Amino acid sequence: MTLLRISEAARFLGVSDDSVRRWVASGRLSAHTDGTGRAAVDGVEVAQLVKDGNGNSKGNLNGTSDDGVPSSARNRFHGLVTDVVMDTVMAQVELQCGPFRVVSLMSAEAARDLGLEPGMPATAIVKATTVIVERMERTERTARADG
């Protein structure tokens, strides 16, 4: 079993550390202690909360838009437009989606049609044929249930 520190779980769930502590106190997440004696929660339980949509993560895992329209795209990141660089043909649009910076290249026509400008809310919808996943190694902080 992989154990996550309270702060790590909070980051993945999109909530505060205090919210995770309250969920542990209420039994929503089970309490554990990691190898360093710090409070921790089960990574599988945190993953299930994210999948069930019970955290506060702004992603969308169920394949529907905010207005309920079905879509094959499963990855939606709500954020704020921070920059738009446009020439006559192409536009580069930068969004800050929680802790993530998402950059999209699109036609200048599409950016103009959407009226994209810094400071406005927008949603990045990602549909990719290839996504590379790297394992997050935690050196001295590695927390395993078996010590």
What is the three-state SS of 62-113?
Answer: CCECCCCCECCCCEEEEEEEEEEEECCCEEEEEEEECCEEEEEEEEHHHHHH
Residues 84 and 121 placed together within one structural domain of the fold: yes
Domain-located, residue 18: yes
pLDDT digits (tens, 9 = 90+) for 42-52: 988 988 887 77
Read off the tokens for 38.
Answer: 């710090």
pLDDT digits (tens, 9 = 90+) for 58-85: 444 455 555 666 777 778 888 889 999 9
What mean pLDDT comes out for the span 21-36? 92
Which domain range does residue 104 map to? 75-126
Kindly report whether the global pTM for this prediction surpasses the value 0.75. Answer: no
Count other C-beta atoms under 10 Å from residue 4's C-beta. 25
| Residue 105 clears pLDDT 60, i.e. is over it | yes
d(CA 143, CA 3): 5
pLDDT of residue 1: 77
Q: What is the CATH classification number for the domain harbouring 95?
A: 2.40.50.100
Domain-located, residue 34: yes
Residues 114 and 81 placed together within one structural domain of the fold: yes
Domain-located, residue 108: yes
d(CA 107, CA 94): 14
d(CA 28, CA 135): 27
Domain-located, residue 12: yes
Q: What is the CATH classification number for the domain harbouring 47?
A: 1.10.1660.10
**Total structural domains in the chain?**
2
The helix (H) or strand (E) run that includes residue 29 is none
Q: With cut-offs at 50, 70 and 90, classify the pLDDT of residue 127.
A: confident
Residues 41 and 79 placed together within one structural domain of the fold: no
CA-closest candidate to residue 144, choices 31, 32, 49, 12: 32
C-beta separation of 33 from 40 below 8 A: yes
User: Residue for token digits 């020439």?
Assistant: 87
